[in-house]
A and B are shown apart, each in its own frame.
Chain A
């Protein structure tokens, strides 16, 4: 009898556990086109930066062939660093199209996005094409792999970056930094709320 109960419990857990796991809604465009890594550990790093600090500077190659330096924006724009784990994966592949749609919300707040992942430039280029283009620079943190993510404390043990948002004001000071659950998109309302706190 105990064995029957144990077998029934094991079967129920295997069958029922998926309904309690968070899932993401996949856009039909991406069906059969992206690699689903499954559910991952929500956060797998320790943040090294905090609000009030000067943001560590960096220079990374972009998909347009130029090198983009963070400090180039000092005195000009608020910067939103959007770290995403990997190209051609479900959550990442619709996060940035959402920012494409809401470009005016960022520009009203005098902010530019720098999209960053550890993928190499050719992969990122193809991904941006697949997303039908983006209005913001997409930067490759590939060589040395994940060095910028590491500098910010956003490199996972798997070698990808976290799904993180870092907001930097026009003086180059970090105003917000968070590694979100990698399995879910950060709420745009949170990002806008933090941008609204910056001095005009």
Chain B
């Protein structure tokens, strides 16, 4: 096959992961979050104070629990206080130092993320994804979606250990499940 066609074939293979929803076992790229964490968020995530952006790999954690949400999503609104309780319960555990949570606001501007944060007094670090770049990289999932990600050795991205589209019913059971799949001790 000539070089041109081979290059296009490589392009197709590269593009495919950005189109398909991820599943357990998939490797997602190490994404850049183009948003500045608040001071307490930077401290929680182990990021340098004053960071203007960061990569997921820079978060000081053995695993990440990521929520893809939207200020506009009714289920995200209805479940916000449950997510707050989940965060508080996780943070109270020793494993809370190793499994860190964060939320990505699909299609939300910084203003919208902040409105959501203030309305529900959300302690979970939240970041805007105004142009849907991260939402696309995560496979255009519904909101809310929860994923547990573990960094791959050698900085080769993050392995999906868990994925749930839709809210959780029982916070305690969900936390147990997330801790179990994350493998953090």
Residues on A facing B (Cβ under 8 Å) = 1, 4-5, 8-9, 11-12, 15-16, 18-19, 22-29, 31, 94-95, 97-98, 101-102, 105, 131-132, 184-185, 187-189, 192
Contact = CB atoms under 8 A, between A and B. Distances in A.
Contacts, number: 111
Interface in B150-165: 165
A94 B8 contact: no
Interface residues of B, number: 44
A187 B132 contact: no
Contacts of A184: 107
A1 B2 CA distance: 8
Nearest to A96: B72
A25 B107 CA distance: 7
B109 A189 contact: yes
A187 B130 contact: yes
Interface string B124-149: 00000011100110001111110000
Contact of B12 (A12, A25, A101, A102): A12
B61 interface: no
B19 A18 contact: yes
A27 B107 CA distance: 12
Given A8-B4, A29-B75, A189 B142 contact: no
Q: Tell me what chain A mostly uses at the interface: helix, strand, loop, or mixed.
A: helix
B74 interface: yes
Contact of B4 (A5, A16, A132): A5
Contacts of A24: 107, 132
B2 A4 contact: yes
Contacts of B5: 4-5, 8
B110 interface: yes
20 contacts: A4-B5, A8-B9, A11-B8, A12-B8, A12-B12, A16-B15, A19-B136, A23-B132, A27-B72, A27-B143, A28-B142, A28-B143, A31-B142, A94-B72, A94-B74, A101-B119, A131-B74, A132-B74, A185-B72, A192-B111
